[in-house]
Structure 1
Amino acid sequence: MLTATLIKEDYSLEDFMVNPPPHMEWVDGELVEKNGMTLKHGGIQYKLARYWDDYKESSGQGGKIYTDVPCRTKKQGRYPDVAYLTHELVTEFGNLATLPQSFPLSAEIVSPTDIAEDVFLKAQEYLESGGEEVWLVFPESKWVMVITENQGLMFTSGKVVITQKVLIGFSVAVDDLLA
């Protein structure tokens, strides 16, 4: 069955908050389609969400793991590839259409069509809007960058990525995540 989402021409950030269209972000006053997703991208997204969820459960930290779910930064409407929301924030915001802030922990799986500067600006947006930690996953170069307000760390093949501020104690080998 084919369905279409009708979007009015003057679609605002407030409209996005109430009715976020799937696979589209609200950027600089316009709806922009999230594209460039590959099978590799989807597989890494699923694997990272599963790893975070398994760890969240085993460590007793609670909360929820999401994929492709909308949030608002200070000036944009975004859909992080993978995101973690603490138990407290699930209780406060879990029934809204769009999270009114960034997720405490977000990950973006960088697609071959992504522009590097845009990816880094998105990470900065997340951090300026309530996010505490952002993972940028580069499948082709086999890099994972973990960015917080005060530091940026690079993990490469043969290394183990470790959370810095959220889901404390989580770690995964870069090679396992990107295999």
Structure 2
Amino acid sequence: MGALMNPEHSWPIPPAGGWTADDLDTLPNLPPHTELIDGSLIFVSPQTLFHARAVSFFERELGSLVPENLEVLREFTIDIDRRNRPEPDVIVCREDAVADFAQTRLPAESVLLAIEVVSPESIDRDRETKPVKYARAGIQHYWRVENKDGVAVVYVFEREPVSRTFAPAGIFHDRLKVSVPFPIDLHLTGITAKRPRTE
């Protein structure tokens, strides 16, 4: 309660026209994984165990399958335009876009696949707002991962070049097998499987 009353801990006041992509690198004391959507700062709520396991699963499994000219990154922001710098949960990007260890973002055109694991507070953004922006930015593939009664379901979308929107390409429950953006065959039950106990 004291922190809320302390003027030193006030929320940042946006400038006229909203924040810009560059502001994310300069604003002090932003919470981790803050995103910029339509010029507004989006603060992420504490994540569920499902979210944590799903993000780790896709980072690990795609990392073992990705071709040498591509790279898998988790929770890394991408530049869509001046007013939008989202942070997909997992991305597959061109390796030549990863410049150095001081890098804080990637251009959207370097991203082949964006994956969002849906949380209760991100449902509308992950189902409606982000797919529209990702498709318009030229990202070819989008996966939305949802928790359905303790089971992972992956909704796969591919960009249609004329409309510049995502078209549904499949709904996957136990196993996800696709040929693009590269051959991928994943057993989704690994996301929620109980971990073996170690003695």
Q: TM-score range by the shorter chain?
A: 0.7 to 0.9
- Aligned mate of 1:24, from 31, 34, 37: 34
- CA distance in 2 between counterparts of 1:82 and 1:73 reads 16
Q: Which runs of 5+ in 1 are unaligned?
A: none
* DSSP-derived class of the 2:134 partner: helix
- CA distance in 2 between counterparts of 1:175 and 1:101 reads 30
The corresponding residue for 1:157 is 173
Is the CA contact (8 Å cut-off) linking 1:143 and 1:154 kept in structure 2?
A: no
Q: How many residues align?
A: 170
Amino acid at match of 1:72: D
Q: Does 1:130 align with 2:138?
A: yes
Offset from partner CA, 1:12-47 (integer Å, 9 cap, x none): 214236448532111222211022511110111001
Amino acid at match of 2:104: A
Amino acid at match of 2:172: T
- CA distance in 1 between counterparts of 2:174 and 2:92 reads 25
- Aligned mate of 1:70, from 77, 82, 85: 77
- CA distance in 2 between counterparts of 1:33 and 1:49 reads 22
Deviation at 1:95, TM superposition (A): 5.7
Once the two structures are superposed, the pairs formed by residues 82-121 of structure 1 within 5 Å of their partners are: 82-90=90-98, 96-101=103-108, 103-116=111-124, 118-121=126-129
- CA distance in 1 between counterparts of 2:86 and 2:125 reads 16
- CA distance in 2 between counterparts of 1:86 and 1:54 reads 16
| Higher mean C-alpha deviation, range 146-155 or range 113-122 | 113-122
Cα root mean square deviation, aligned: 2.8
Q: Which runs of 5+ in 2 are unaligned?
A: 1-8, 161-166, 194-199
The corresponding residue for 1:171 is 185
| Identity among equivalent pairs (%) | 19
- CA distance in 1 between counterparts of 2:92 and 2:119 reads 21
The corresponding residue for 1:15 is 22
Offset from partner CA, 1:64-84 (integer Å, 9 cap, x none): 211111112234110000011
- CA distance in 2 between counterparts of 1:85 and 1:110 reads 21
Deviation at 1:178, TM superposition (A): 4.5
Is the CA contact (8 Å cut-off) linking 2:37 and 2:85 kept in structure 1?
A: yes
Amino acid at match of 2:33: H
Larger Rg: 2
- CA distance in 1 between counterparts of 2:103 and 2:126 reads 27
Identify which of structures 1 and 2 has the higher relative contact order when contacts are C-alpha pairs closer than 8 Å and 6+ apart: 1
* DSSP-derived class of the 2:92 partner: strand
The change in CA–CA distance for 1:110 and 1:55 in structure 2 (over 3 A counts) is: same
| Higher mean C-alpha deviation, range 114-123 or range 81-90 | 114-123
Amino acid at match of 2:145: V
Q: Does 1:49 align with 2:59?
A: yes
